[in-house]
Structures are given as structure tokens and as C-alpha cells.
Structure 1
Amino acid sequence: MNTTEMFLIAMAIILAVPYLIWRVGRTDYWAPLVVVQIVVGIVLGPGVLGKIFPDYYATVFAPPVIGALNGIAWWAVMVFVWLAGLELDLHEVWRRRRECGTTAALALAGPLIVGCAAAVGMLAWRGGWMGEAAEPWQFVLGVGMSCAVTALPILILLLEKLDVLREPLGMRVLRYASLDDVAIWGVLAIILLDWKRVGHQAAFLAGFAVAAWLFRRLMRRLKETDRWYVGLIWLAVCAYGADWSGLHYMVGAFLAGAIMDRDWFALEHVDTLRHNVLLVVMPVFFLSTGLRTNWSMGGTAVFIAAGVLLVASVGGKLAGVGLAGKLLGWRRGDAWTIGWLLQTKALIMIIFVNILLDRQVITSETFTALLLMAVASTMLTVPIVAPRLKQLV
């Protein structure tokens, strides 16, 4: 077979297998299609399919095919992160800054502290978790922040599924998650700070500030149809600038969306684009993520680490949000519901740990443990939150 035929076979597998599992197995309640795609990506990776059928794996996922899939995955995830930045509603956050600031800070600090403690424990337990290019503080902060992440785009999908996206509760949760999203990318920039390239990074940030001011003036004068085209060009330029400076193209993609106003676009058009990106190209990203998993340290060690990180993530988030609820005088049960919604991980955390792996802050074994934690935390959300919401009706 030539490369084109192998690529098309790979695409058929990537699109068909998760869909059939999701539809035939009726997993939507506890595992939305996005989660099934992530799990299938892990199964199709070298640690599972590659071990069971090495010849088949080497044929279908040959280097030329992987190269083509990676190109699609890069663009898909850049557009997705760009939309996540666009979803930020910082004007409303500022209006409710005491409530949002207190909740977001504690919701982030709780799992961050517990996650950092878990990372220290991993280093003390055995070697093989920290990447070759990392300092211990970078590894600890990176793992801790992975436990603190809230996946804003997936949270939106789950809130839609629970029929509360445009309800007061849903809007509250999105405001808290929006602030945490900003903090996540800020911390990532600190972790990735390269003192050998600090001049490039300072130049990028200074240039970005000027370009963003000019870009915003231009966008206000355009029709919405033109704004989409110009916005995508802006995304590519910002992603290139961030990667050139050493910050990573995902930081640039998020900044490109974050400085845009959501009301420049019809809300239904934003939702449609997000759904189409998830449908058409994000499955390729999930597959490329699964191809990076590694079980060479041993499945038991990886699963133990994933379990510890899951407890740190969920426990820290519930504790932080619970404290916020007491300080702000929330009604009984709100903190529990909001805490479980905010512990949703999936896509943004997977993107975050992909960057840590790219920069050799973590090893592929740590990446695998964090990926398993992200899947488990997301699968827990709807089964736990849905019964609580029924009680409130």
C-alpha cells in the first residue's frame, strides 16, 4: 500500500472505532464521545495495539502517516485552544470580581497544592517520572497544575448535556473556569521560561501587545464573515511567534483567542465551529495523543500514579471550592456540585501535558498517568452531578 492508502485506513479507524463504541455501547451518560475518542487513542497507541499487533501497527501507523496525522492534529488543537480563549468572558468576571476571584483562586490553589505534594511523592518513590530537560520545581509545578486544570471547552459540552449551560449555575461555573484558564496558561509560560531565549520571549510579548491593539481596531471594522478569516490568520501568526520565542505554539493560540471579544461573533456560530472541529479533526489529535503513551515503566506503577493524581485532583478541587462556598455563604450543596464540575479535565489538561512532554518536563510514563487521570475525572462528572441537579429541579 502507498502512503495515501495507509493514511485513509488510519483515518477510517480513527473515526469509526470510537463512534461505534459510543453509539452501540450507549456510553454517553458516563463517557461522552470525546472521552471515548481519547480512550480509543490510548488503545490504538504503541502500548496496547503496538504490543498486541506490532506488524499491523507498524504498517498502518508508519512514520509518513504519523507525520500527516500530526500536521492535522497541530492545527486542530490550535483552533480548539483559540476558541477556548475566545470563550473567556472577562467583562462579566470583572463585574463579579470578589466572588469569581475568591472561588477561582481557591479552586486552583487546592488541587495545585495537593498535586504538587503528589508530584514530590512520585519523585521520592522512584525515578523515571521527570523529563531530561526539567528542573525538579518545573516537574512539581507542572504536575500540580495538571491536577488543578479545568477543561473549559469540555466543561461547556458537559453543561450543554446537563441542560444548564445558559442557566445561572452554568454561567457561574464558566466564570470561575475562565479565570482558572488564564492562570493555567500563565503558569505554563513560567514553566517554559527559557533564560537562554528570554530576549526572544520578551520581544514576542512586546510585539504581541502592539499587534493585539492594532488587530482589535481592525476587527471592529470588519463584518463577521471577514472576522473569521482574519481571526484564523491571526491565530497562525501568534502561534508561530510564541513557538519561535520558546513559549510553545499553544500559548500563542490561547493568547490569540483571549484578546478577542466573544460578541464579535454570533454565539451560535462559535458553538457550531467548536462542534465541527470536535467532529472533523480533533479525533486525529486524540489518536496522536494516544500514540505518545508509554507503559515501559510497568502498568502497575503507571496506574498507581494515575490513581494518586486523581485523588489529589478531585479532593483538592472539592476542598478548595468547599472553602470558597463557606467564605461566600453559598447555599447548601452548591460547592459540591460546582466542585465536581470544575474538576473536569479532558482536553485542556491533555493539551497542557502534551506541551510538558514536548518540552521534556515530564516523561511519557508521567504523561500516560496524567492522561488516565484526565479521562477518569471527566467520566466521573456527569454521573455524580446529574442526580444532584435533578434534586434541585
Structure 2
Amino acid sequence: MEPNITQPESFLIAMLIIFILPFMIWRYLKTEYFAPMVVVQIVAGIIVGPGVLGAYFKDYYHAIFTPVTIHNLNGIASWAVMMFVFVAGVELDLRNVWRHRKESSVTAGLALGVPLSFGAVVGWLLVQHPGWVGQVAENWQFILAIGMSCAITSLPVLIVFLEKMELLRQPMGQRVLRYASLDDLLIWSVLAVVMVDLPRIKTQLLFLIGFGVASAFLRKLMVAVGEADRWFYALIWMVGVSFMAEWSGLHFMVGAFMAGVVIDMRWFDQKKMDLLRHYVLLIMMPVYFLSTGLKTTWSIGGTAVFIVAGFMLVAAVVGKLVGIHIAGRILKWSEGEASIIGWLLQSKSLITIVFANVLLDKGVISNEAFTAVLLMSLVSTMLTVPVVSSKLALNPTLATKMS
């Protein structure tokens, strides 16, 4: 029998679950070593989704997660992730990448290209079987999407890990951030290609041209006004570009990231931007993680989803390590550097989930493929800190290696 719960009560119960469950797991199971709070929040979202809570406690699940409650949560989640990817775009230091352009381009290119190729092979194999490709996707879009899902490095999660291991201000940490920053730019560029809608290509080209012109005006405006006004102009700019990206057939998250990339971090106080990112992660992104969990499904069969996730994980981990080791040979790195960098770049969960949500929303991948990508990204991320910590314990001087 379904409990009698009012709409406000169901929304507030959902919000309590969002904040209580991850915190209890993170605090009392002491997961910080292998799974930071963001990873635990994603796992908690899966637990309360239809595949777990919904499967075993259907009445309670449907009483709490009513269509209206889910609609409200999705609205908060959309605003949260828009803010998050915008800040990620602002924080990209492309000038630093340019100063080390040869090393950065070689390393980032191989770190992205090799696992993308390995993942594309998995995507091609999935195309041969029904139930994995999204309803509106061409085969090439699906294959490229799966390949890129295996190649992603999540810059925000990487920063969390580098801080935890006291590598963020070390030469090794700064090198890895450069590679991840360039990969972030390439990831969103590939996503824009995947999202290309041939019938609407003229609209999308018009958006890109308009974005370029508007960006030039924005940059002049931001220089001319004070910092207090810059925050308001930045928010207006973010929403406007996101809307136009969605209108043109791209996704609003692509627009939010593009809006951030053309803004210079030096126009804002670094501490305020850090606080903004911190509070977006603390207050709003947990709602996004829960809404992500609500999209997980096992309708093809749990075993098949886990097997596919396993193949993706192998493609992601092995592809990243092979690519980085090739870069190490080309750039003549010392022994052990490539292994440390390769494992640090395994940090995936946050950006991969954002990426996969875009693909799911636009019908490029199915719910089952989305669940497999989600599982792959979580396991890859959870491997990062234990493996890197053990390697640094054996050779601590690697942390101070310059490029």
C-alpha cells in the first residue's frame, strides 16, 4: 500500500535522503581514501534510484519520487550543473597550457586519443546488439560518444584528489592539471560534434558565429566594469549562451561551458571563485547526483550492464595508460612518471556523468548504456587515489618532477 504523503512532504523527504545518505556513508564508512564525497553522492543516487530502492520498495519509491517531485529536482539539478560547468570553463587556464604547448598537446592528445579509440571499439561492438544505441542517434555518434566517455578526465575531481595527496602545488600536480585542462576543452568540442543535428546545422553555425561576436563584446565589457558588476554580467552571459545553445540543437551544458571558457579567471577574486565552486558542490550538485541515479536502469539485464561496464573500464584504464606511456617515450620522461600521470588522469566521475547525461537527454545513448558508463566512471575514479598513493610511497621524488 502506497503511503499517503503530500507533495511538499515528498519533496522534503527526497531532499533529506539526498543529504543524509551520502554523508552517513562517507563519514561512518570512512570512504575518503578511495571515494570522495562526490563519488559517494553519485553512488547514493544509484541506491535510491529505480534500480535499487525502486525495485525493492516500489510503494515508498513512487510515494516519494512522484512526477512533480522529480520535475522539481530536475530543475534544481539543471541549474546546479549549469553553474558547475560554467565555473569549470572559467577556471581553465589556457595561457598556461599555451606556454607549455608542445608537451601539453602531445600528452593531452595521446591521453585522450588512445582511450577514445579503445572505447570506440567497445562502442562499435555495442552497435551490433539492440538496446544500447539511443533512439535518435546515428551509429557514428554512438560510437564516438562511448569512445569519449572512456577518455574523459574530470578536472574538478582531479583537483580534489591532488589536494588530498598534497600534490596540487607540486610540479607533478601542475603538469597533470595542464593536461586535464586541455582535455576538458577537447571533450566539450567532441561533445558539440556528437550533438550536431544535420537538419539544424545552419542554426548551429549561426549560434557559433553569434557566440564569437558576442564574446568579443563581453570581454571588452568585463574589462570596463568593476568586479561586483562582473558577477552579474557573468551569470546573465551564462544563462543567455546556455539558452541559445539549447535552442540551436546543442545542449545547454555545452553552452554553459563555452560561456565560461571565454571569461578570464583573473577578472575575479580566486578565493571567491573557489568558494562558489565549493558551495555549488555542497548545496546544489547533490540534487544533480540524485537525479542522475534516478536515470539508472537494468532493463536489459544487470549482468549485461556490468559486463559492458567492465569492457569500458578496460578500454578507459588501459587506453589512458598506453597513451600516457607513449607520450612519456616521445618526451623522454624519467621512469615512473608516465605511470603516475596515467593513473591520476583516471579521475572521471563528475564530468563523465555530466557528459553521459547530455548524451542520454539527447537520445544518443540508451538508459542501459548510461548505467554502464556510470559504473565504469565510478570504478575508474575509485582506483585513482589508492594506486597513485602506493606508487608515490615507493618513489616520492616523482611529485617534484618538472615537465
Same fold (TM over 0.5): yes
Partner in structure 2 of residue 265 of structure 1: 268
Deviation at 1:75, TM superposition (A): 0.5
Deviation at 1:266, TM superposition (A): 2.0
Deviation at 1:123, TM superposition (A): 2.6
Question: Which whole-Å CA distance do the structure 1 matches of 2:352 and 2:17 have between them?
Answer: 25
Match of residue 167, structure 2, among 164, 169, 173: 164
Partner in structure 1 of residue 354 of structure 2: 351
* SS of alignment partner, residue 281 of structure 1: helix
Deviation at 1:153, TM superposition (A): 1.2
Question: Which whole-Å CA distance do the structure 2 matches of 1:243 and 1:217 have between them?
Answer: 25
Letter in 1 for 2:45: G
Deviation at 1:156, TM superposition (A): 1.1
Partner in structure 1 of residue 154 of structure 2: 151
Letter in 2 for 1:351: V
Partner in structure 1 of residue 8 of structure 2: 4
* Higher mean C-alpha displacement, 89-98 vs 311-320: 89-98
Partner in structure 2 of residue 37 of structure 1: 41
Match of residue 109, structure 1, among 109, 113, 119: 113
Question: Which whole-Å CA distance do the structure 1 matches of 2:159 and 2:304 have between them?
Answer: 33
Letter in 2 for 1:50: G
Letter in 2 for 1:78: M
- Asked if 1:119 corresponds to 2:109, the answer is no
Deviation at 1:357, TM superposition (A): 0.7
> Aligned pairs, how many?
392
Question: Which whole-Å CA distance do the structure 1 matches of 2:225 and 2:390 have between them?
Answer: 45
* SS of alignment partner, residue 258 of structure 2: helix
Deviation at 1:267, TM superposition (A): 1.9
Deviation at 1:210, TM superposition (A): 1.1
Question: Which whole-Å CA distance do the structure 1 matches of 2:255 and 2:169 have between them?
Answer: 29
Partner in structure 1 of residue 98 of structure 2: 94
Deviation at 1:263, TM superposition (A): 1.2
Question: Which whole-Å CA distance do the structure 2 matches of 1:110 and 1:383 have between them?
Answer: 24
Deviation at 1:233, TM superposition (A): 1.2
Question: Which whole-Å CA distance do the structure 1 matches of 2:36 and 2:217 have between them?
Answer: 40
Partner in structure 2 of residue 72 of structure 1: 76
- Asked if 1:20 corresponds to 2:20, the answer is no
Question: Which whole-Å CA distance do the structure 2 matches of 1:267 and 1:164 have between them?
Answer: 19
TM-score if structure 1 supplies the norm length?
Answer: 0.98
Partner in structure 2 of residue 46 of structure 1: 50
Match of residue 249, structure 2, among 246, 250, 253: 246
Question: Which whole-Å CA distance do the structure 1 matches of 2:191 and 2:34 have between them?
Answer: 30
Match of residue 214, structure 2, among 187, 211, 216: 211
Q: Deviations over 1:196-240 (max 9, x none)?
A: 111211111111111111111111122222222221111111100
Partner in structure 2 of residue 180 of structure 1: 183
Question: Which whole-Å CA distance do the structure 2 matches of 1:92 and 1:22 have between them?
Answer: 35
Deviation at 1:4, TM superposition (A): 1.5
Q: Deviations over 1:108-131 (max 9, x none)?
A: 11101100011112233x321111
Partner in structure 1 of residue 63 of structure 2: 59
Deviation at 1:388, TM superposition (A): 2.1
Question: Which whole-Å CA distance do the structure 2 matches of 1:302 and 1:260 have between them?
Answer: 40
Q: Which runs of 5+ in 2 are unaligned?
A: 398-403
Q: Which runs of 5+ in 1 are unaligned?
A: none
Q: Deviations over 1:90-118 (max 9, x none)?
A: 11111111100100110011101100011
List structure 1 segments (4+ residues) > 4 angstroms apart after TM superposition: none
Question: Which whole-Å CA distance do the structure 1 matches of 2:114 and 2:246 have between them?
Answer: 31
Partner in structure 1 of residue 331 of structure 2: 328
Question: Which whole-Å CA distance do the structure 2 matches of 1:152 and 1:128 have between them?
Answer: 31
- Asked if 1:306 corresponds to 2:330, the answer is no
Question: Which whole-Å CA distance do the structure 2 matches of 1:64 and 1:121 have between them?
Answer: 38
Deviation at 1:389, TM superposition (A): 2.5
Partner in structure 2 of residue 339 of structure 1: 342
TM-score if structure 2 supplies the norm length?
Answer: 0.96
Letter in 1 for 2:50: P
CA RMSD of aligned residues (A): 1.0
Question: Which whole-Å CA distance do the structure 2 matches of 1:360 and 1:272 have between them?
Answer: 35
Question: Which whole-Å CA distance do the structure 1 matches of 2:238 and 2:305 have between them?
Answer: 36
The sequence identity of aligned pairs, in percent, is 56
Deviation at 1:339, TM superposition (A): 0.6
Question: Which whole-Å CA distance do the structure 2 matches of 1:201 and 1:130 have between them?
Answer: 24
Question: Which whole-Å CA distance do the structure 2 matches of 1:262 and 1:167 have between them?
Answer: 21
Partner in structure 1 of residue 195 of structure 2: 192
Question: Which whole-Å CA distance do the structure 2 matches of 1:166 and 1:71 have between them?
Answer: 37
Question: Which whole-Å CA distance do the structure 1 matches of 2:360 and 2:11 have between them?
Answer: 25
